[in-house]
Amino acid sequence: MAIMNNGIIENELFFSKNKAVDKNTIFQVSSLSKIVSSVGIMKLVELGKINLDTPVTKYLTRWQLPQSEFSNEEVTVRKLLSHTAGLTDGLGYQGFKNKDSIQTIEESLTKAKDADDGANGEVKVGIEPGSKWNYSGGGFTLLQLVVEETSGQTFNAFMRDSVFTPLNMTSSSYILNDTLQSRLCEFYNSDKSTASHYYYTALAATSLYTSLSDLETFFQLFLTGKNGEPIGRGHIRPESLKLIRKSHWDIMGEKIYGLGAMLYMDIENGEDIFGHDGKSTPPINTALRINPISGDGIIILETGNPNLATRIASDWVFLETGKTDTLLFNLLVRKMINLIVIGIIVISITAIVIGIRRKKRKIT
């Protein structure tokens, strides 16, 4: 965990069960991968390789969206980044225990074998594009293919050359290599038993391997200079970074998502605390929160608990703003609903038991 204050690392905290962890330990960060991937995609826009509002079909030769009652021409890079493209895959990826089982991108887009239980796993347009916000891991896998088709490189190689190397993020990769393997963290289940390490086809959506140190560097990419604009460290334009955290979908007046970035709490001057969380099974939970005005924030990487990082990060938002952020509110609502349901069941059973006892008394 790292606490950032005015863009500077204020504190770093490390806790582990067996193998020690430090700022250079490698964690798999699940869906936190998306905000890092979005920076690479915005770099591709800057290079003139893609346009945010061009139909993705124009960039694809290896695979195409299947026909549906809706127009695939309405599916753009912007809508894929903001989860508004109308895709209904429901992904979530569970990953593969064995590297040899990993599907090709095309196979995974057609039908992901590692789809979460209950998820369709087919990347297709099932909702009118632009009409609804619908979280889609498959949308980022499709963007992964777009990057490969337009850059002429593998997704991992493009991100290495265009993002990680320029930013000196030397411990980041979407594919685990021998250099990082020796520093890989241990994975745990919720019952504290050792968990398996999983591999993914969906690199852009969920497979980033990185360290606390590298994410501190990534955090500072979004810091503002004297003119109030993101610094970008000279490697990505300030307007691209602002676009990432600009709201592209609101729900009941609340901003929730930009381009690969979750928006957690509005602050001032039209800005929001933003970042992304990651969650997978066996439990990996990661969280990133950035206040672009103050430069304050928090980064948490953990395994063994499905919600710990999110809860701590959401508590940080509350301490920063005095308000409950979107994810914590949802967690509390779910908990409250569960308690209400349990209460209703207990009351119903109690009422039935009392009724039966009264009936027996009348009979006797």
pLDDT the model gives residue 71: 96
Range with lowest mean pLDDT among 156-160, 162-166, 247-251, 324-328: 324-328
Cis-peptide, bond into residue 282, ω within 30° of zero:
yes
Secondary structure (3-state) at 274: strand
pTM above 0.85, yes or no: yes
Cα 53–Cα 203–Cα 201 angle in degrees, nearest 5: 115
**Which class is 2-324 in CATH?**
alpha beta
DSSP letter for 39, please.
H
Report domain extents, the chain: 2-324, 328-364
Q: What is the mean pLDDT of residues 284-309?
A: 96
Which phi and psi angles does 276 have, rounded to 5°? Answer: -165, 155
Q: Is it the case that residue 264 has pLDDT exceeding 70?
A: yes
Q: Is it the case that residue 363 has pLDDT exceeding 80?
A: no
Share of the chain above pLDDT 70, in %: 86
pLDDT the model gives residue 101: 95
Q: Is it the case that residue 225 has pLDDT exceeding 90?
A: no
Q: Is it the case that residue 114 has pLDDT exceeding 80?
A: yes
Range with lowest mean pLDDT among 47-51, 268-272, 288-292, 342-346: 342-346
CA gap 342, 344 in Å, rounded: 5
What pLDDT band is residue 147 in, cutting at 50, 70 and 90? very high
* β-pairing verdict for 2-5 and 8-12: antiparallel
CA gap 43, 160 in Å, rounded: 12
Cα 240–Cα 91–Cα 308 angle in degrees, nearest 5: 80
